[in-house]
Amino acid sequence: MNTFQGISASGGIAKGNAFLLPVYTRQGVNKYPVAPDTVDADWTRFEKAREKTLEYFQSLIDQTNSRQAAIFQTYVLMLSDPDFLGQLKKEHTEQSVCIEWVVDNKAREYAGMLRSSGDSYLIERAEDILDVYGKVIDNLIGDIQVSCESIPEGAILAARFLSPSDAVFLSKKHLAAVILDKGAANSHLAILARTYGIPLVFGIEDIENRIHTGDGLIVDGSNGTVFVNPDKKTSTEYDKKIAGDAAEREKLAVFSSKAARTKDGIAVKIYANIGSAEEARIALEEGADGIGLFRTEFLFMQSGLISEERQFEEYRSVLEIMKDKPVVIRTLDAGGDKIVDIPGFSFKEEKNPLLGCRAIRLCLKMSALFKTQLRALLRAGVYGSLKIMLPLITDAEQIRQTKILIEEVKTELQSKNIPFNADVPLGIMIETPAAAIMADELAKEAAFFSIGSNDLTQYGLCVDRENAQTAGLFNELHPAIRRFIVQTAKAAQEADIPLSVCGEMAADKARMLVLMSAGINSFSVSPKKIASLKECLSHFTAEQIEALKDWTESPMDADVLQEKMNIFLSGDHARGSV
């Protein structure tokens, strides 16, 4: 048995057989000459690779998911575009160089042209071309023999990394777990894995030499451990844990249809965090009171800058799925680890991207891009109960500037007789120390607050949330972070504006109770966490939770508070005897 320690990005335990995704070698396509009498044979090689890619994308089209189907249908059309194919053939014949080099070169040239057009629809297509013809090159080079079909149902997928378009494997192949070398807890893949309840561990270095297709694996997503060909003792131990988890899930299932309430009936709101309309359906099934955070950057990370129309459709779908339940859509939070391809802007040039031009700063700088999103949002606002939320606010002026842009957008829409909702509330994330300290002032401009505990902890404790080496320092229970939260809660209460918490902190039972003791009774979490939080709440009275306030407001260390909370959770209250 080998044991590898990675970093957990999605919890749960899975046991099964590995399927190793062959190493991705799309970069570095070699250029080599092709003799004139073998040019035809080389072209036939291309035709076969193109056919294989066509079949691959056709197999991904899921008719029950219109958005996803539309993307892959577009890919299929691109692979059959006679103009593009004609140009490839011409250059291949004229230059007598290998077809993979011609394809790579032409796809990049086309993508560059589309990107520089400045038209958001065409810019979006540039990424599609690279994705589509990149897959053709994979098939030409032969390193990637993978199609969705070749991944066995229920396998544990091991890969060096997965691209956003590969995220489709998660639901389509009912994967038991995913283990990666490269990854990040906030990648689209990680968020999707949490949404679908699939364990995900990354940080397994040199994965292609450590894991082989067919290896028996246990993936413990709760702590990031991967056991390869486990011994009998470990296997039996994990069988028990898996059975325990299954029993627990069954017990929790009843809570998805129940309202979140304390033992004495005090109502709490538990919303869902999502990254696409598809995830809104899961949120609804899991019993969410609405959407507390729609991370719109994930749409952009998948497809580059997307058009107003496509954004509008996605936002409208979420609102329609959620019917009259509230939906908080956050404006583009690009930058940091969330890279979006924006023409004329390079994230790479920033020395400290997390402190750089990201989120609201980027949007206010690229106001055309921001206004496109605001337009799509106001138009979608007609279809449900929408609220708009701004990320990474440090200054009230950023809210005021956004309001000016919103007014401009309204005038434009009005002049074109396009229906829109003129009364969409504008709220902000409290996820910087500046915002927490100035919450009373910001409350004069914001209609609501939502605490982003992930970034608040990152910036408050000066600890990169993605750095495995400092992971031990990242703790939302740190007294400084608790103080920020208490201060924000007081400011929201005094200004009488709604306050919620949408960072990962809210998804942990002990931390949720700590937040409640600060007077917060609205949370937004990954959909699969909703039932367990409701169940936890049902064990405690409002008075018992309020009594935790002394601990929350004290300067006690995070570890000491955690220990106390563990005892509190496992004590008589949790067993239901109090």
Q: Which residues bind ligand PEP (CB under 6 A)?
A: 186, 293, 295, 333, 431, 452-455, 502-503
Please choose which of ligand PEP, Mg ion, none residue 488 contacts, taking the beta carbon within 5 to 8 angstroms, the exact cut-off set by kind: none
What 3-state DSSP class applies to 488? Answer: helix
Q: Which two tokens stand for residue 173?
A: 């192949």
The reply to whether 502 belongs to the active site is yes
The reply to whether 188 belongs to the active site is yes
Backbone φ and ψ for 198, nearest 5 degrees, come out as: -105, 125
- Of the pair 49, 510, the CB lying nearest ligand PEP is at 510
- The secondary element (H helix, E strand) that includes residue 5 is strand 2-5
Backbone φ and ψ for 419, nearest 5 degrees, come out as: -65, 140
Please choose which of ligand PEP, Mg ion, none residue 167 contacts, taking the beta carbon within 5 to 8 angstroms, the exact cut-off set by kind: none
- Minimum Å gap between C-beta 493 and ligand PEP is 21
Backbone φ and ψ for 387, nearest 5 degrees, come out as: -130, 145
Q: Which of 286, 455, 504, 508 binds Mg ion (CB under 5 A)?
A: 455
Q: What is the number of the residue whose Cβ is closest to Mg ion?
A: 455
Contact between 476 and Mg ion per CB under 5 A: no
Mark residues 414-453: x for contact with Mg ion by CB under 5 A, - for none. Answer: -----------------x--------------------x-
Please choose which of Mg ion, ligand PEP, none residue 503 contacts, taking the beta carbon within 5 to 8 angstroms, the exact cut-off set by kind: ligand PEP
Q: How many residues bind Mg ion (CB under 5 A)?
A: 3
DSSP labels, 290-310 = SEEEEETHHHHHHHSS--HHH
- Minimum Å gap between C-beta 386 and Mg ion is 20
Helix-strand-coil percent breakdown of the chain, rounded to 5?
55, 15, 30
- Of the pair 295, 529, the CB lying nearest ligand PEP is at 295
- Of the pair 76, 354, the CB lying nearest Mg ion is at 354
- Of the pair 181, 466, the CB lying nearest ligand PEP is at 466
Give the residue from 148, 182, 153, 152 showing the smallest Cα distance to 165.
Answer: 148
Which of the following is catalytic: 92, 188, 478, 539?
188
Contact 39, 61 (CB under 8 A): no
- Minimum Å gap between C-beta 455 and Mg ion is 4
Q: Which two tokens stand for residue 301?
A: 């990370």
- Of the pair 307, 453, the CB lying nearest ligand PEP is at 453
- Minimum Å gap between C-beta 6 and Mg ion is 23
- Minimum Å gap between C-beta 392 and ligand PEP is 8
Sheet of 177-180, strands arranged across: 2-5, 225-228, 216-220, 13-20, 156-159, 177-180, 200-202, 7-10
Which of the following is catalytic: 98, 363, 478, 502?
502
- Of the pair 304, 452, the CB lying nearest ligand PEP is at 452
Which residues contact residue 487 at a Cβ distance below 8 angstroms, ignoring those fewer than 6 apart? 436, 437, 439
**What DSSP state is assigned to residue 31?**
-
Which residues contact residue 6 at a Cβ distance below 8 angstroms, ignoring those fewer than 6 apart? 179, 201, 202, 203, 204, 224, 225, 226
- Minimum Å gap between C-beta 518 and ligand PEP is 16
Catalytic residue positions, numbered: 188, 502
| Site residues (vs Mg ion, CB under 5 A) | 431, 452, 455
